[in-house]
Structure 1
Amino acid sequence: MGVRFQELAWRQTPIGEISLRRRRDPALDTEVYEVKLDDEYLMSSLFPVAEIELARLGLAELTGDDLNVVVGGLGLGYTARTALADPRVGSLVVVEAIEDVIDWHRQGLLPFAAGLADDRRTRFVRADFFAAAEAEAGFDPDEPGRRFDAVLLDVDHSPRNVLHPDHARCYTPAGLRRLAAHLRDEGVFALWSDDPPDEEFGAALAEVFATWQAHVVSFPNPLTGGESANTVYVARR
C-alpha cells in the first residue's frame, strides 16, 4: 500500500521554500507527486497533460532533424521527457534555477521521469532562465550565443502571475525580442500558462513573432470530477 505521505526533498531558495512531496491518494488509488513553493502548489503528477502538450505543440511547428531545444524550468520533467520522445531532437538543454530540482532527477526520485537525466542528449544548466534570456550569451554557457530551434518555457503560473517580479520583463515586447534572438530563423517559442488566453500577451507576441497561436488544453480533473484547462502559446519567428 505504501507510505500515505512523504516529503522527499525540501530547500529554502531565493523565491521561497520549495518541496517535493509524495502522497497516496486513496480515492484515486494512486501515488501523487507534488511540488510546492511555500504554501502554493506549483505542479502535480495528477495534471501533466498541458506540460506534455507544451513540448508536443511547440515541436510540431518545426521541420527537419537534429533539433536543438531548450526547456526552461525542469519541475517534474514532463515537458523535457516529451521533448526527448521526439526522435528529431538531437540535443536538450534544460535551464533550471534550483540545483535541488535537478538533483531530484539525478537521484531518481521521480519514477515517471526515469531516463531523463541519463539520456545522452540531455544537459542540465543550473541558471536563471530569465537572466539567460536577457543576456547576449544565452542559454548555453559552453557555447555563448548559441541559437536554438525551440524554447519551451514552464516556470511562472502565467504572463500576469509570475513567481518573481523580475520575470515579468520576459513577457513584454522588449523581453520577447531578447528571447527571440536566441532562436534560429523560423524557430519556436512555446509557453505554458495556467490562465485563459490573454489578449494583451497575444499582442506582445504578435509584435515580435511572425505567427502565434494560443491553444486551450483541456483535461479531466479527478479532484473535481469535471474538466480543467491550461493555455499553451506557440509563436514562430
Structure 2
Amino acid sequence: MSAMFEELDYAPTPIGAISLRRRHILALKTDVIEILLGEEHLMSSLFTASEVALADAGLRALEGENLEILIGGLGLGYTAQAALAHEAVSRLTVVDLLEPVIRWHREGLVPMKTELADDPRCQLVQGDFFGLAASEDGFDSTHPARQYDAILIDIDHTPDRLLHGGSKGFYTTEGFHKLQRFLKPGGVMGLWSDEAPDAAITARLATAFKEAWAEPVVFPNPLQDGREVTQAVYLGRKG
C-alpha cells in the first residue's frame, strides 16, 4: 500500500496558496489526486464525469471538422483530454490563471502525466480568462479577436458561487454578449457547474444566446455507498 498522504507541490498564487496532493483512500483501496486552493477543494481525480461531459456536450453540439476549441480552466486536465479525444478537434487552447497548474502538466505531476503538454494540437496558456473575455483582443495575442467553435469554462463552482472575484460580472447578459465576440457563428459556450441544473441560470443564458439549455450529469459517489450526485453542464449557442 502507498503512503496515506503526500503533498506533491505547494505554491503561492495571486488568489492564494495552491497545492497538489495525493491521498490514499483506504475504503476504496485507491490513490486520489486533488487540487486545493487554501483549504478549498477545487478538483479530484475521483470525480471527473462532469468535467468530461463538459467537453463531450460542447463538441456534440457542433458540426464539421477542424474545430478550434478554447477551454477556460485547466485543473487536472480531464475536460481538455476529453476534447482532444474528438478527432474533429484540430486546435485546443487552455487558459488558466495559475502558473503552478500549467507547470504540473508540463512536469507530469498529474494523473495524465504530460499528455496535454505533449499534444501538438494543445496549447497551455497562463492568463486571466475573464479579463481576456472582456478585452478587445480576446485570447490569442498573435491573432487578435480570434474566434472559436466552442468556449468551455470550468473555473467557478457554479455561475452563482464564485471561486474568487475575478469573474464578477461575467455570468450576466452583458458578460455573455462580450464572450460571443470570440465565438464563430453557431458556436457554443459551455459552463460547468457543481450543482444540478438551475432553470434560473438557463434563463439567464437565454437572454444572451440564440439557444440555451442545461444537461444534467449524474454519477455515483463511491465515498457515499454509490449515492448519485447530479451536476450540470450549461450550453448556449450563438446565432
TM-score range, shorter chain: over 0.9
Residue 129 of structure 1 and its aligned partner are, at CA, apart by 0.3
Q: Distance in 1 between matches of 2:52 and 2:117?
A: 17
Residue 67 of structure 1 and its aligned partner are, at CA, apart by 0.3
Q: Distance in 2 between matches of 1:116 and 1:43?
A: 17
| Contact 1:91/1:122, CA 8 A, preserved across alignment | yes
1:88 aligns with 2:88: yes
**SS, match of residue 146 in structure 2:** coil
Alignment of 1:124-163 (within 5 A): 124-163=124-163
Show the counterpart of 1:173. Answer: 173
- The amino acid that maps onto 2:89 is V
TM-score, length of structure 1 as denominator length? 0.97
| Contact 1:151/1:190, CA 8 A, preserved across alignment | yes
Q: Distance in 2 between matches of 1:45 and 1:22?
A: 10
1:183 aligns with 2:195: no
Once the two structures are overlaid, the 10-residue window that deviates more, 207-216 or 146-155, is 207-216
Identity of aligned residues (%): 48
Show the counterpart of 1:32. Answer: 32
Q: Distance in 2 between matches of 1:18 and 1:215?
A: 30
| Contact 1:6/1:22, CA 8 A, preserved across alignment | yes
- The amino acid that maps onto 1:17 is A
Show the counterpart of 1:71. Answer: 71
Show the counterpart of 2:3. Answer: 3
1:236 aligns with 2:228: no
Q: Distance in 1 between matches of 2:198 and 2:212?
A: 12
Q: Distance in 1 between matches of 2:108 and 2:54?
A: 23
Query: Could you say what the CA RMSD is over the residues aligned between the two structures, in angstroms?
Result: 1.1
Residue 196 of structure 1 and its aligned partner are, at CA, apart by 2.3
Q: Distance in 2 between matches of 1:125 and 1:112?
A: 18
Structure 1 unaligned segments of length 5 or more: list them. none
| Contact 1:170/1:176, CA 8 A, preserved across alignment | yes
Show the counterpart of 2:110. Answer: 110
| Contact 1:11/1:19, CA 8 A, preserved across alignment | yes
Q: Distance in 2 between matches of 1:149 and 1:178?
A: 15
TM-score, length of structure 2 as denominator length? 0.96
| Contact 2:106/2:114, CA 8 A, preserved across alignment | no
Q: Distance in 2 between matches of 1:108 and 1:224?
A: 30
- The amino acid that maps onto 1:27 is A
Instruction: Say how many residue pairs are matched.
Output: 237
Residue 114 of structure 1 and its aligned partner are, at CA, apart by 4.4
- The amino acid that maps onto 2:172 is T
| Contact 1:172/1:201, CA 8 A, preserved across alignment | no
Q: Distance in 2 between matches of 1:88 and 1:43?
A: 27
Q: Distance in 2 between matches of 1:111 and 1:219?
A: 20
Once the two structures are overlaid, the 10-residue window that deviates more, 111-120 or 209-218, is 111-120
Structure 2 unaligned segments of length 5 or more: list them. none
Q: Distance in 1 between matches of 2:111 and 2:160?
A: 32
Residue 23 of structure 1 and its aligned partner are, at CA, apart by 1.2
Residue 116 of structure 1 and its aligned partner are, at CA, apart by 1.1
Q: What is the CA deviation profile of residues 26-66 of structure 1, one whole-angstrom value per residue up to 9, with x for unaligned ones?
A: 21111100111111111111100000000000110000000
- The amino acid that maps onto 2:193 is S
Q: Distance in 1 between matches of 2:201 and 2:37?
A: 25
Q: What is the CA deviation profile of residues 65-104 of structure 1, one whole-angstrom value per residue up to 9, with x for unaligned ones?
A: 0000001000000000000000000000000111110010
Show the counterpart of 2:97. Answer: 97
